[in-house]
């Protein structure tokens, strides 16, 4: 029975950064990932807010992370983690058997809530985005729609209003659920049109998004847009750990900036952790912090 020093659950920027730091500390590392090596960033056609890169595709950045981790002898396996059992040696149960480690880092990230419409996943990266900080510059002088009415949607809309010719904000309720201060600021933007009590019914376009059909109290309406930003929430992927580590009310692992959980030898990094800023840079910072904390624990 091989026992790794550290098993990392998730191969996004947080998990792979943790693997890099653990590898540099001469620890044996196994990274388990059920979906895409590199994480959600790989679906971004162009990223311009990562230190060291003026511009890089998400796929290329993900590949470089994987390559760097493997160059430090990290093992990377495709498997879905179903459960972690506590003990002096942790047992990580997957759909491909059990693995063992002295410490575990949870870096499962989040997934964006989707509208559940035809072509939605096909248009991600081809007109559908989730991050105005990351992708807003690509729509400078163009028309976009922001879907949602919480703080994230309001912040995205305000940022996009400074870049885009026109911003439609579509909220399914008759009011915003975000902070009043943000809503008050948004309504002052002359190039922003707010549509309340409306839902997106259909996505228009062939190979890329060209418009949306919305349902309003007055019937259906087609809107031509160059892009759409979804801001209807994130779903942390921590359900399988709920009986082990403490989660907050929103399902994120409850941990401070030290990335330490309530269970000895279990650490957390990246977007699945309770935190305010969820960006590649902060995910990488978490990965380094969690890896070094795990190395200290092993000592």
Q: Which residues are catalytic?
A: 131, 134-135
**Token pair of 192 as six digits:** 């922003």
Six-digit token string for 190: 């002359």
Q: What angle do CA 47, 48, 50 make, to 5 degrees?
A: 90
Closest CA to 1 of 91, 80, 70: 91
20-to-61, 158, 276 alpha-carbon distances in Å: 14, 37, 24
Structure tokens at 168: 């439609």
> Positive or negative CA dihedral for 68, 73, 79, 83?
negative
CB 205 within 8 A of CB 120: no
CB atoms closer than 10 angstroms to residue 87: 9
- CA dist., res. 263 & res. 274, Å (int): 16
């Amino acid at each position: 029975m091989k026992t790794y020093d550290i098993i990392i659950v998730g191969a996004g920027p947080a998990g792979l950064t943790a693997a890099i730091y653990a590898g540099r500390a001469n620890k044996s590392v196994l990274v388990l990932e059920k979906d895409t090596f590199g994480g959600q960033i790989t679906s971004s056609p162009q990223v311009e807010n990562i230190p060291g890169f003026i511009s890089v595709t998400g796929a290329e950045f993900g590949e470089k992370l994987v390559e760097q981790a493997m160059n430090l002898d990290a093992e990377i396996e495709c498997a879905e983690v179903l459960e972690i059992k506590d003990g002096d040696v942790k047992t990580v149960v997957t759909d491909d058997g059990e693995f063992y480690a002295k410490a575990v880092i949870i870096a499962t990230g989040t997934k964006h809530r989707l509208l559940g419409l035809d072509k939605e996943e096909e248009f991600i990266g081809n007109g559908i985005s989730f991050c105005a900080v990351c992708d807003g510059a690509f729509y400078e002088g163009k028309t976009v729609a922001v879907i949602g009415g919480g703080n994230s949607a309001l912040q995205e809309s305000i940022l996009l209003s400074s870049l885009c010719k026109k911003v439609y904000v579509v909220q399914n309720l008759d009011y915003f659920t975000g902070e009043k201060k943000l809503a008050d600021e948004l309504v002052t933007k002359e190039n922003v049109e707010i549509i309340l009590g409306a839902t997106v019914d259909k996505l228009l376009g062939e190979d890329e998004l060209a418009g949306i059909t919305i349902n309003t109290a007055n019937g259906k309406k087609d809107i031509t847009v160059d892009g759409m930003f979804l801001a209807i929430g994130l779903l942390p992927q921590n359900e399988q750990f709920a009986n082990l580590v403490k989660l907050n009310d929103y399902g994120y692992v409850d941990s401070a900036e030290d990335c330490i959980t309530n269970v000895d030898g279990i650490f957390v990094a990246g977007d699945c952790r309770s935190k305010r800023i969820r960006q590649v840079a902060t995910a990488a910072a978490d990965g380094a912090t969690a890896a070094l904390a795990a190395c200290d624990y092993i000592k």
